Amino acid sequence: MTQQNSRIAGRAWWPDGWTLAALAIVAVVVAPLLAVVWIALHPTENIWPHLMATVLPRYFTTTLTLMAGVGVLAAAMGTGAAWLVTMYRFAGRGWLTHALLFPLALPAYVGAYALVDFLDYSGPLQTAMRVAFGWQDARDYWFPEIRSTWAAILVLAAALYPYVYLLTRQALREQSGGVYEVARALGTGGWGLFWRLGLPLARPAIAAGVALALMETVADFGTVTHFGVQTLTTGVFSTWLSGGNAGGAAQIAGVIMTLILTLVAVERVSRRNARFHRAARHARPIEPLQLRGWRGGLAFALCLLPFAMGFVLPVGVMLTHAFANPEVWLAKGLIEAALNTLVVGGTAALVTVGAALFLVYGVRMAGRGVARVVLPVTMLGYAAPGAVLAVGLLVPLAALDHRLADAILTATGSDPGLLLTGTSAAIVLAYVVRFFGIAQGAVDAAFGRISPSLPMAARSLGETTGGTLRRLYLPLMRGSVASALLVVFVDCVKELPATLLLRPFNFNTLATRVHELASLERLGEAAPAALVVALLGLAATALLAHAHRDR
């Protein structure tokens, strides 16, 4: 009896297959971040004192300046637009409600290339000004410097304000219309409603949206590089690629990780005591007020401005270049880049969503404390910029690659070359780690919409755990799974820093092709790839708009 009890206790202590799988997935996601910390603490050549005395303060100050500017501007544009389309009716409000999400379809660096092309000395705006006023050259008039920090702030805010807009609009729509009716009856005007009711009640959503925008700002590489702004992310590239010091790059990446984690902590603390709920379960929704005349026109113009800056201008510039030279659509490099993007992005999307399905279902089936604790840890990958993940992946993978090649050479006498870093496998792994949190959130929400009685009935009828997932859950979740695949694929298509650092020699995706050609001022050749990225992004944005449509 004692021996039997010991075996039972051993089985209870030993984790089951679901828990082991969850721990393995968590290890894959967290390993690159831990590798960054290890490389930073054990560099081959410690240049930290040199970084602190020279470039790091400038990188850090510029990054903070960029974050402050983007945060304020994105919050103003996103919150203002959400308030106007939720609280008022005006001409054009219907399509603007969805169009305000469209900048999410474009990477910020595409907006940077378009803005420079439009506003530069040889661009259409300054050219038209010189023709109109008879100016001969730049000495005859003043025009602001385009390649500057303020321009980077403007482009990033125009590309990232939809995070604030989406969450704020959802928060406003969930509030009770009766509260606003009472405030109006007491004589509170439009500004008073916004400052005293709308803004305080939506503050948690605004904080969450701004935090997402700031994370993307810290992670950005293409935009700041094109504007000549030196940030922590560009410092990773220059220290690693130009300086040849992986340890120094890891140390700068560690600063980025610390900044991101601090940002997440501050955002969560700021929202901890700022939770608001409806007073009733079936509260009356907000009834928008009709705006006519100049007030309706002003509301339309204020909502149109961020949409025009974040979407119309970049797409318009790219369309102009693409159709001015139609032969570039058949360029060999474009076709190869599209095929590479389809392969690595599609593979990463399938692996990411498949692993998320396995993990979330395993946590629900296992019901163990360990699995439930480690589930949120897999969200850390999304908070890590692509440049940080590249440092944490490439150095360990390169070391592993050399060991494998040496072992195979010793055993067979044939040198296999680089098996991991010499192929696109490292890019796929980076995408999986980077976007696992998105897939996990979508899959977890899909599981939550299925009544628990259905799987319980299936199990009571003798269905296995795997059979329940295959025959019950997946058919009911196929729409959500397809949406998750599309969103992850589009994010992989737009990812630039990790792809630049991890790609094999002479390997281009759509994102890297746009970046390389635009950096060489060959925007006409870069335009088709940028438009393909935009088209894919619009598909994912349409799904997002459909999920948050007015009901």
Q: How many CB atoms lie within 10 A of CB 191?
A: 8
Q: How many CB atoms lie within 10 A of CB 30?
A: 18
Q: Residue holding tokens 């298509």?
A: 493
Does residue 174 have a pLDDT over 70? yes
- Residue 235, pLDDT score: 92
How far does CA 103 lie from the centroid of its chain? 12
Q: What is the mean pLDDT of the chain?
A: 83
Give me the torsion for CA of 295, 298, 300, 304, rounded to 10°: -170
Quickly list H helices, 88-148.
Answer: 93-99, 108-119, 124-133
Q: What is the DSSP secondary structure assignment for residue 245, as one 8-state letter?
A: -
- Residue 313, pLDDT score: 94
The helix or strand, by DSSP H or E, that contains position 147, with its residue range, turns out to be none
CA atoms within 13 A on the CB side of 527: 22
Q: Residue holding tokens 């979330």?
A: 360
Q: What is the DSSP secondary structure assignment for residue 137, as one 8-state letter?
A: S
The answer to whether the CB of 101 falls within 8 A of the CB of 209 is: no
The answer to whether the CB of 206 falls within 8 A of the CB of 167 is: yes
Residue 424: both structure tokens together? 């696109």
> What topology does CATH give the domain 16-46+325-551?
MetI-like fold (1.10.3720)
Residue 538: both structure tokens together? 């619009």
The helix or strand, by DSSP H or E, that contains position 21, with its residue range, turns out to be helix 17-41
pLDDT in tens, 341-358: 999 999 999 999 999 888
The answer to whether the CB of 343 falls within 8 A of the CB of 507 is: no
How far does CA 132 lie from the centroid of its chain? 42
CA distance 346 to 143: 44
Does residue 14 have a pLDDT over 60? no
Residue-wise DSSP of 365-382? HH--HHHHHHGGGGGHHH
Straight-line distance from the first to the last Cα atom of the chain, in angstroms, rounded to the nearest whole number: 62
Higher pLDDT, 92 or 370: 92
Does residue 523 have a pLDDT over 60? yes
CA distance 462 to 440: 28
pLDDT in tens, 457-483: 777 777 777 777 777 777 888 888 888
Q: What is the DSSP secondary structure assignment for residue 78, as one 8-state letter?
A: H
CA distance 353 to 361: 12
Buried b (16+ CB within 10 A) or exposed e, 522-538: ebbbbbbbbbbbbebbb
Q: Residue holding tokens 């204020």?
A: 302
CA distance 317 to 374: 46
Residue 214: both structure tokens together? 């700031």
Residue-wise DSSP of 396-439? HHHHHHHHHHHHHHHHHS-----SSTTSTHHHHHHHHHHHHHHH
For 353-357, which contacts have Cβ atoms below 8 Å and span 24 or more sequence positions? 353/439, 353/443, 353/481, 353/484, 353/485, 353/488, 355/25, 355/432, 355/436, 355/439, 356/436, 356/439, 356/440, 356/442, 356/443, 356/484, 357/443, 357/469, 357/481
Amino acid letter, residue 452:
P
Q: What is the percent of the chain where pLDDT is above 70?
A: 86
For 211-300, list the strands marked E by DSSP: 289-290
CA distance 129 to 142: 11
The answer to whether the CB of 294 falls within 8 A of the CB of 90 is: no
CA atoms within 13 A on the CB side of 108: 29
The helix or strand, by DSSP H or E, that contains position 88, with its residue range, turns out to be strand 88-89
Q: Mutual orientation of helices 332-366 and 474-494 as an angle, nearest 10°?
A: 140
Q: What share of the chain is helix, strand, coil (3-state, %, to 5)?
A: 80, 0, 20
CA 77 → CA 147, 213, 305, 409, 461, distances in Å? 23, 12, 9, 59, 54
- Residue 12, pLDDT score: 43
Per domain, the residue ranges of the chain are 16-46+325-551
The answer to whether the CB of 153 falls within 8 A of the CB of 69 is: yes
The answer to whether the CB of 250 falls within 8 A of the CB of 391 is: yes
- Residue 371, pLDDT score: 52
pLDDT in tens, 56-85: 999 999 999 999 999 999 999 999 999 899
Lowest average pLDDT, out of 138-142, 153-157, 179-183, goes to 179-183
The three-class DSSP label of residue 187 is coil
Largest CA distance in the chain: 102
pLDDT in tens, 532-548: 999 888 888 877 776 65
Burial status of residue 243 (CB atoms within 10 A of its CB: 0-12, 13-18, 19 or more): middle
Lowest average pLDDT, out of 109-118, 299-308, 351-360, 377-386, goes to 377-386
